[in-house]
Amino acid sequence: MSKILVVDDEQSLRDFLAIMLKKEGHDVVTAENGTHALKAIQAEIFDLVISDVKMPGIDGIGVLKTTKEISPETVVIMITAYATAETAVEAMKLGASDYIIKPFKVDELKLIINNSLEKRHLRKENILLKREIKSKAGFENFIGKSEAMQKVFTLIRQVAETNSTVLITGESGTGKELVARAVHFNSPRKDGPFVTVNCGALPETLLESELFGYMKGAFTGAASNKQGLFEAAHGGTIFLDEISATSSALQIKLLRVLQEREFMRVGGTAEIKVDVHIIAASNKDLLSEVAKGAFREDLFYRLNVIPIHLPPLRERKDDIPLLVDFFLKKLLAGREQKKITPEAMNALIGFRWPGNVRELENTVERLTILCSGDTIRLEHIPDGLKSTDAAELISSDIPDEGLDLEAMLENAEKKLLHKALEKSGGVKTEAAKLLKLSFRSFRHRLQKFDAS
């Protein structure tokens, strides 16, 4: 549905166009002259303006000029019974989309209107595409056999069928935006826009105008009317990342959007209704933020209708080999693939990954660059990732699905044996002393791993 303004001093034509356009499913406003038209244009943003050229007072050219000054993205079609080449050329120079001569055929007018609206829709879509590059629509970017991730996959499928507000929580780098995209692209809204907003990346005043849009003159620099991202997401999904970074004043406005699905532009007076699926995300514990008074309790409960928590990578170590394999194939697509030795993989499994999946992907990318051969070995692994020791094992969280204690202990033992060998310059008797082992015990342990 598009919002259309019809401007004509002839009531019969004005009424005819309004009835025709409403039957086509559009929201139509009419104005009997240029003065009324300009008041409407200053109060609202229209997708399309259809204006007669010859009118008393402010004529159609005046309406066209002001429309393009206030709302440059609005499409304008001019209609006249007194066509002249000069007027047509002037109208097109000023930005008119088309110039129609009365009497016109209804089907011809419908075609011109539909084409003009389609061009506007494509321009809006291109702007969104430049701002937001879509990733794959399904679960292709989700890798995980762990029980925790399987629960997340199940939730995504369930949530995608609803319009309920979703709150995604998890540490930085766990893939919160991927979850939001998966919900959108597996939902009935998949053909609508998916708009992301990083609430922590913009100052409060700029964030408000980005979300809700603004009217000309609302603040210094507001040279024209502008639609906000909530309007851009109409019919689709808006993803509010880092929602905890919003101010208390903006939280009140977001609460109203969640409750009523309507808002006012900055400097505007008209309520604007939108049909959007709202998904929010935070790497902070919002309940703790509520307790500290840093986040509104009522907004938290409005957002937390369907919570999805993403576990940190250290709690799903079983997924690390799958992720490494996925990233290697992705990064080396079209090139010779690299293998990774069990020792190198164990080093990656043993690390705690404070930056989670994002850090792992960056590490795998670095390894593909640093390893000139076809196999990534333990010596290619940065020293900072080889630090698994007893203290770290003890401090590790035990995930819900449990962990392989034998494998973790073996991994730690193997690393310590090799570290002792490195420190002793390869002399096994000295390496055994460093680990307070007999030479026989040291050799036995080393042979056990070398044979595996």
pLDDT in tens, 25-53: 999 999 999 999 999 998 888 999 999 99
Any idea what DSSP says for residue 75? Answer: E
Q: What pLDDT score was predicted for residue 102?
A: 83
Any idea what DSSP says for residue 245? Answer: G
Domain boundaries, the chain: 3-131, 147-309, 314-381
- CA 18 to centroid of chain Cα atoms: 37
Give the pLDDT mean for 142-164. Answer: 88
Distance CA 346, CA 412 (A): 9
Q: How confident is the model at residue 400 (pLDDT cuts 50, 70, 90)?
A: low
Please say whether the structural domain 3-131 has been given the CATH code 1.20.1250.20: no
CATH number of 314-381: 1.10.8.60
3 state DSSP class of 227: strand
Asked if the model's pLDDT at residue 180 lies above 50, the reply is yes
pLDDT tens by residue, 108-137: 889 999 988 888 877 776 665 555 544 444
* Whole-prediction pTM: 0.67
Any idea what DSSP says for residue 284? Answer: S
Q: State the pairing for strand pair 237-241/262-263.
A: unpaired
- CA 352 to centroid of chain Cα atoms: 27
Q: What pLDDT score was predicted for residue 422?
A: 85
Q: What is the mean pLDDT of the chain?
A: 87
Give the pLDDT mean for 323-334. Answer: 89
pLDDT tens by residue, 207-219: 999 999 998 888 8
How many CB atoms neighbour CB 212 within 10 A? 24
What one-letter code names the amino acid at 294?
Answer: A
Asked if the model's pLDDT at residue 431 lies above 80, the reply is yes
Give the pLDDT mean for 362-388. Answer: 86
Q: Judge contact between 48 and 77, C-beta under 8 A.
A: yes
pLDDT tens by residue, 230-272: 999 999 999 999 999 999 999 999 999 999 999 999 998 888 9
pLDDT tens by residue, 73-122: 899 999 988 767 788 888 888 889 888 888 888 888 899 999 888 888 77
List % helix, strand, coil for the chain (3-state, nearest 5): 50, 15, 35
Asked if the model's pLDDT at residue 313 lies above 70, the reply is yes
More confident residue, 415 or 264: 264
Q: What pLDDT score was predicted for residue 132?
A: 52
Q: What pLDDT score was predicted for residue 357?
A: 92
- Could you please state the CATH topology (level 3) that the domain comprising 147-309 is classified under: Rossmann fold (3.40.50)
Domains 3-131 and 147-309 share a fold: yes
- Residue 52 burial by Cβ neighbours in a 10 Å radius (0-12, 13-18, 19+): buried
Distance CA 138, CA 330 (A): 16
Q: Judge contact between 54 and 8, C-beta under 8 A.
A: no
Give the pLDDT mean for 362-380. Answer: 91
Distance CA 430, CA 386 (A): 21
Terminus-to-terminus CA distance in the chain, angstroms? 66
Distance CA 417, CA 444 (A): 11
Q: What pLDDT score was predicted for residue 135?
A: 44
- Residue 336 burial by Cβ neighbours in a 10 Å radius (0-12, 13-18, 19+): exposed
- CA 236 to centroid of chain Cα atoms: 12
pLDDT tens by residue, 278-310: 999 999 999 999 999 999 999 999 999 999 999
Q: What pLDDT score was predicted for residue 273?
A: 92
Q: What pLDDT score was predicted for residue 136?
A: 44
Q: What pLDDT score was predicted for residue 295?
A: 96
Distance CA 279, CA 168 (A): 8
Buried b / exposed e over 350-385, threshold 16 CB at 10 Å, is bbbbebbbebbbebbeebbeebeeeebebebbeeeb
Query: Which residues lie across from 100 on neighbouring strands?
Result: 79
Q: What are phi and psi of 87, to 5 degrees?
A: -65, -40
Distance CA 160, CA 180 (A): 10
What one-letter code names the amino acid at 142?
Answer: F
Q: What are phi and psi of 214, to 5 degrees?
A: -155, 165
